[in-house]
Amino acid sequence: MSASPFVLPPAPDTLEVGTDRLRLRPFVETDLDAMAAYRGDAEVCLFLPFEPQTPADIRGRIGHLFGGTNLEGERGGVVLVIEHVSDGQVIGDLVLFHLDPEAGAAEIGWVVSPAASGRGLATEAVRALVDTAFRVYGLRRLTARIDPENVRSVALAERVGMRREAHFVENEWFKGRWSDELRFALLARDWTPTS
Residues of the chain with pLDDT under 70: 1-3, 73-75, 194-195
What does DSSP say about strands 17-18 and 105-112: parallel, antiparallel, or unpaired? unpaired
Reduce the secondary structure of 144-190 to three states and give it as a string: EEECCCCHHHHHHHHHCCCEEEEEEEEEEEECCEEEEEEEEEEEHHH
CB distance 19 to 128 below 8 Å: yes
Share of the chain above pLDDT 90, in %: 73
pLDDT in tens, 66-106: 777 888 766 678 999 999 999 999 999 999 988 888 899 99
Query: Is 147 strand, coil or helix?
Result: coil
| Helix 55-62, helix 32-39: angle, nearest 10 | 100
How many residues does the structure list for the chain? 195
**Does pTM surpass 0.85?**
yes
Residue 176's Cβ-count burial label (10 Å; 0-12, 13-18, 19+) is exposed
**Pairwise CA distance, residues 178 & 109, whole Å:** 21
Write down the pLDDT at residue 136.
Answer: 93
β-strand partners of 170: none
The residue ranges of every structural domain in the chain are 17-139
Question: Which residues lie below 8 Å from residue 159, measured CB to CB, with a gap of 6+?
Answer: 123
**Pairwise CA distance, residues 146 & 105, whole Å:** 17
Assign domain 17-139 one CATH number from 3.40.50.2300, 3.30.360.10, 3.30.300.130, 3.40.630.30.
Answer: 3.40.630.30
- Which secondary structure element, helix H or strand E, spans residue 36, and what is its range? helix 32-39
Residue 162's Cβ-count burial label (10 Å; 0-12, 13-18, 19+) is buried
CB distance 132 to 165 below 8 Å: no
